[in-house]
Amino acid sequence: MAQERALPPVVERLWGREPVSRRGPRPRLDLGMITSAAIEIADAEGLTGVSMASVASRVGVAATALYRYVGSKEDLLTAMVDFVVSAPPDPAGRPWRDYLALWTRAQRDTLLEHPWLLQIARLTPPLGPRRLLWLDRLLAALDGVGLDDGEKINVASALTGYALTDAALVTTVGGGEPQFDDAGIEGADDYGEVLAGLLDPEAYPALSAAVRGGALRGAEGWVDDGDFRFGLELLLDGVEALISRRASGEDAG
């Protein structure tokens, strides 16, 4: 007999499963109103500005009134991660490769638009309805290509991970965050110069040669879209190779 698992109350509310009382006045608040206010604060001030008190102040209630909808700041973050994403692109009529490229770029753009998302460790696995809709649409785009469902989910995980990594790099370095102020590093050129002074050619022969050969020279920080496209195409080439192996009957395992 399958074990019944109780979802956190905030997740139940995300799915619209909160019991609705037919008695008394209609509540002034709902989870959407509270979460939208929290997202506005995070976009303006970062996650450090988000607290039960600051959200309550924005919606015009006492902080204690929020606990009917979110039991803690952690619950609030769970709701924010789901509410902040828009509807996924529609895969209908698009070749799978074009859709996966669009899907990955859209995820990256959301992270760049709301960089505080990168600080929330529980980005995966998704439980909310909006984020699970993104996973559903990717699985639909890969329908009929010859991959099993587990492989399709692994493709989604790999592409999501790439979007996260690229957005984090752009945000923390290319986006001007003061991660390396003391070293004077503002982009790939500066990083290359620092590495050239650090690396011993005998201990790091390949990397040292690449850096001294100008591998990091001339890039626009880490925000060059060409870099993002290169990595994305590399991943999609791998997916295409896997699909080809499955079509030919080869065992990829």
> Hey, is 140 helix, strand or coil?
helix
**pLDDT computed for residue 20 by the predictor:** 58
Residues 9-83: name the CATH superfamily.
Answer: Homeodomain-like (1.10.10.60)
Q: Which residues of 81-101 are buried (b: 16+ CB within 10 A; e: fewer)?
A: bbbbbeebbebeeeebbebbb
For CATH 1.10.10.60, the residue range(s) in the chain are: 9-83
Q: Give me the helices (H) in 65-95, please.
A: 73-83
- Most confident listed range (66-70, 211-215, 225-229, 232-236): 232-236
Computed over every residue of the chain, the mean pLDDT equals: 86
Quick: pLDDT tens for 4-33.
Answer: 677 888 999 999 886 655 554 556 789 999
pTM of the full structure: 0.85
Distance CA 246, CA 75 (A): 42
Q: Which two tokens stand for residue 160?
A: 């999501």
**pLDDT computed for residue 23 by the predictor:** 58
| CA of residue 111 relative to chain centroid, distance | 6
**Nearest CA to 83 among 125, 45, 114?**
114
For CATH 1.10.357.10, the residue range(s) in the chain are: 96-175+223-248
Level-2 CATH architecture, domain 96-175+223-248: Orthogonal Bundle (1.10)
